[in-house]
Structure 1
Amino acid sequence: MTHASNNKQQITFRNYLLLVVPLTLSTITVPILGAIDTALVGHLPNPSFIAGVTISTIIFNTLYWLFGFLRISTTSFTAQALDNLSHLKSAFLRPLFIALLLGTLFIIGKSLIFDVFIKFSNPSAEVYFYAKEYFDILIFGAPFTLINYVLIGFLMGRSYVKLVLYLQVFINIVNIILSILFVWYFNMDVKGVALSTLLAQISTMIIATILVYRMGMFDISIDDLKEYFSWASLKEIILINSDLMIRTVCLLTVINLFISNSTALGTEILAANSILFQIQYLMAYIYDGFANAASILSGQAKGKKDIHLYNQTIKYAIVSGCGISLFLSLVWVTFDQNILGLFTNQANILALAIEYSIWMAIFPIVVSMGLMIYGVFCGINYTSSIRNSMIIAVIIWLISSFLLIPNFGNDGIWISFLLFCLARSLLVFWLNLSKKFFFRD
């Protein structure tokens, strides 16, 4: 992005928000699937239900976040392709093949995956049973979920934000209806929760595939395949995705250590932290909607070599990040007990969640800049500083958790997590500011 085009694209803050709103509504439906499952089992009589489902949900979040670059890179490359049909097909087909391959490998290696991850939490026998019951059903949704990442990423990159919103609303409606049917009417408990989510994932993939098919993305020849999957074509996406994968490995390392430390404090603390962590996911995905909008616009700016559009995008991202942080913190401080009551009616767990709820009021403030700048730089494939900031932030987590958890218990876990979030925000901002990457005309 060293030369600005003569035809600068003007975008107002209102235009940015019109892009943000449907993207935010669509992105927040992703953690809602896990939140719905947690809330349903949270109202069942056995606390081991919620602990088991949460552990398996963390496993799936770990797997899917690890390969979340499929959506992120698909969005950025699609946005940069503009209306070039050959580049669009390349941006779509390469990650689609990777998604299908990875999803299949997840199913083949499901027992190994579960055994490796379960060692982090070391649950009781009963919690282990329900975690495995949930996992063994939902793992068959892995190919469909990863393919959905690519399909949604492509539609986002093409700015079909309303289609993305409709698809995400659809998957949640299907999940809610089936969950209520299986859990409350057929008394399937954990199995019913997992099956409803699986069927929602499959049905959404079918509809999204039909939509993309009608756009001509599957109209390819043998020569096209040779071009799209040549080493020269794959090299850039591999390098970019390796940075994003390292970033995700760092994030998931912290999440799994968070769950492991929570487990060591007992099933009720694990259940309470699990509910708070689901809310943290919801907040993070609200930012993700803003970051996705920034990613689309910065990707278009790179494709057009339009520095003016890039500058507007990053300014809007920073302003909106500050605004949404204040909004989320105020909402949480005002309605925290009401929100927590939606997740469980078990008095002990609810009381513990309320006791530690203050940390969730601080979370939006410390995490916002990291997530917003992340979106901007993913859009232009500038990922090395994202990787570096996350590596340093993990080191800060390790040091703080070593010092704080033995002395402050669960408060120490949350303080360490918030320090990690603050570090990733400050570092990604500073690393790029030091390179004078902001506001260049």
Structure 2
Amino acid sequence: MTNKYYLSLAIPLIISTITVPLLGAVDTAVVGQIPNPAYIGGVAVGTVIFNTMYWLFGFLRVSTSGFAAQANGAEDDLKSAMALFRPMIIALLVGLLFILFQDAVLYFAQVFLGVKGEVKAVSAEYFSIRIWGAPFTLMNYVVLGWLLGMSHIKKTVFIQIMMNIINIILAYLFVIFWGFGVKGVAVATLIAEMTAFLAGIYFLSKNDKLRIDFHLTILGKELLDKAPLKKMMIVNRDLFIRTICLLLVFNIFTAKGAAYGTEILAANAILIQIHYIMAYFYDGLANASSILTGKAVGQGNRQLYENTVKKSYQWSILFSIAISLLFFLFKENIIPLFTIVKDVITISKEYEYWLVLFPICSCFGLVFYGIFTGATEAGLVRNSMIGSILIFFLVLFPSTHYWGNHGLWFSFIVFSLCRSLLLWRYMPKLREKLVFKKAE
């Protein structure tokens, strides 16, 4: 496997993952043209609620990609189909539960976020429309994961870019041109999510591996086959625990930052957004590594696995150097893109050097994650995250006591470094777990 082939997978996936946060960002930007700050706040709150909901169930895409890649490597059409149908049922059920209990979800989310007054009313209006897209969004996670696992990279990129273009056009028309307000921006996003799902279904309908020529009763038995069903549930459980740990870290980080005052909270929020952009670049590499690892495991091909690990090391390091260097060189221009408040910019500059360290400390944790999920060995990912969050807590309280917000950032960087070191430490154990039939 050449560097060119690895990057031919990784670069489109990087472009694809960078589009992920755009739906909420576009909604906020468009509604920001309405001369009422409560609209911006309400849509921002609604976006946080949906981002959290969907982030919690992001494992549907990740695990599906791993199982599909293994089935593709084994050239097993039945396993390929089951890799899609099993998680699709889970996604549909979870999405319907969100709709069924939407009032409870909204109530507890607003209480947790401390939303009041007009912002509360606007966020409820936005939420009550977008919630109907939950089944489509979660099922689309499965569709995208399956297409990734089957190496249909261009189709996944097309679906996500198309979704964002539709959202941008409709949001502008509904809000700016026709004046539908918050309802308009919510409906635009809902239509974009539904259209993306339908596009995914169209691509699936054209795929030969899903044209299974046997009776539906046999398909039903395969869907409920205990061994693979149990394996899928275990992998999804472990990835869910990993996500809970990540949300806990970011929520604690935000809460601690708020204790230091509004301006430091705002500065931290800007720097964390830049951190997210950095992380999305690594997510593309992780997806490429996941596809190749799954294919290697499915084929029983040790050489492909070893080459994937080698490329993951190599490009993790190169990307880390490039991202850190670019941020260091252009940090004076980057931070003002996020705010015009001079005091916040000044405070951000005080802590910006922590972000120079982030790519170097986090690269292996963010990229090797793809190797483990491609091998569907999420238990080791779960263990590494639990270990990292325990160390985060041990470091957090003394460091924030003595160094304040610098201590908070130090704790976050230590957490990121531990994710890398623990996954790196688990690499030999992963290799022992995998069974390979051929050397090349």
- State the TM bucket, normalised to the shorter chain: 0.7 to 0.9
> Of 58, 63, 72, which aligns to 2:53?
63
Distance 1:213 1:167 in 2: 15
Report the equivalent of 2:96. 104
Write the letter of the residue equivalent to 2:164.
N
Report the equivalent of 2:421. 426
- Alignment partner of 2:363: what SS? helix
Report the equivalent of 2:71. 81
Correspondence 1:411-422 to 2 at 5 A: 411-422=406-417
Distance 1:367 1:122 in 2: 32
> Of 316, 319, 322, which aligns to 2:314?
319
Task: Decide whether the 8 Å contact of 1:54 with 1:274 is kept in 2.
Answer: no
Residue 226 (1) aligns with residue 221 (2): yes
Report the equivalent of 1:250. 245
Write the letter of the residue equivalent to 2:390.
I
Task: Decide whether the 8 Å contact of 1:144 with 1:202 is kept in 2.
Answer: yes
Residue 90 (1) aligns with residue 82 (2): yes
Write the letter of the residue equivalent to 1:196.
A
Residue 281 (1) aligns with residue 271 (2): no
> Of 286, 291, 301, which aligns to 1:296?
291
Residue 396 (1) aligns with residue 391 (2): yes
What's the CA shift string for 1:27-86, capped at 9, x where partnerless? Answer: 221123334445556777777666654444343333222221211111111111123221
Judged with a 3 Å threshold, the aligned counterparts in structure 2 of structure 1 residues 189 and 365 are, in CA distance, closer, same or farther, namely farther
Bigger mean CA offset, 11-20 vs 325-334: 325-334
Higher relative contact order (CA 8 A, sep 6+): 1
Which ranges of structure 2 fall in alignment gaps of 5 or more residues? none
- Alignment partner of 2:377: what SS? coil
Bigger mean CA offset, 322-331 vs 398-407: 398-407
Write the letter of the residue equivalent to 1:430.
R
Q: CA deviation at 1:406?
A: 4.7
Residue 151 (1) aligns with residue 131 (2): no
Write the letter of the residue equivalent to 2:71.
A
Write the letter of the residue equivalent to 2:242.
R
- Alignment partner of 2:20: what SS? helix
Residue 201 (1) aligns with residue 197 (2): no
Q: CA deviation at 1:257?
A: 2.1
Write the letter of the residue equivalent to 1:152.
L
Identity %: 43
- Alignment partner of 1:175: what SS? helix
Distance 2:31 2:338 in 1: 9
- Alignment partner of 1:30: what SS? coil
Bigger mean CA offset, 119-128 vs 276-285: 119-128
Judged with a 3 Å threshold, the aligned counterparts in structure 2 of structure 1 residues 434 and 307 are, in CA distance, closer, same or farther, namely closer
Task: Decide whether the 8 Å contact of 1:175 with 1:200 is kept in 2.
Answer: yes
Which ranges of structure 1 fall in alignment gaps of 5 or more residues? 1-10
Correspondence 1:117-128 to 2 at 5 A: 117-122=109-114, 125=117, 128=120
Judged with a 3 Å threshold, the aligned counterparts in structure 2 of structure 1 residues 285 and 105 are, in CA distance, closer, same or farther, namely same
Bigger mean CA offset, 332-341 vs 136-145: 332-341
Distance 1:29 1:45 in 2: 27
Bigger mean CA offset, 368-377 vs 198-207: 198-207
Q: CA deviation at 1:102?
A: 0.5
Q: CA deviation at 1:134?
A: 3.9
Give the RMSD, CA atoms, in angstroms. Answer: 2.9
What's the CA shift string for 1:379-405, capped at 9, x where partnerless? Answer: 011222211110111122223332334
Write the letter of the residue equivalent to 1:371.
L
What's the CA shift string for 1:130-150, capped at 9, x where partnerless? Answer: 544443333322212111111
Task: Decide whether the 8 Å contact of 1:291 with 1:372 is kept in 2.
Answer: yes
Residue 14 (1) aligns with residue 14 (2): no
Count of residue pairs brought into register by the alignment? 431
- TM-score (ref. length: structure 2): 0.87
Report the equivalent of 1:5. none
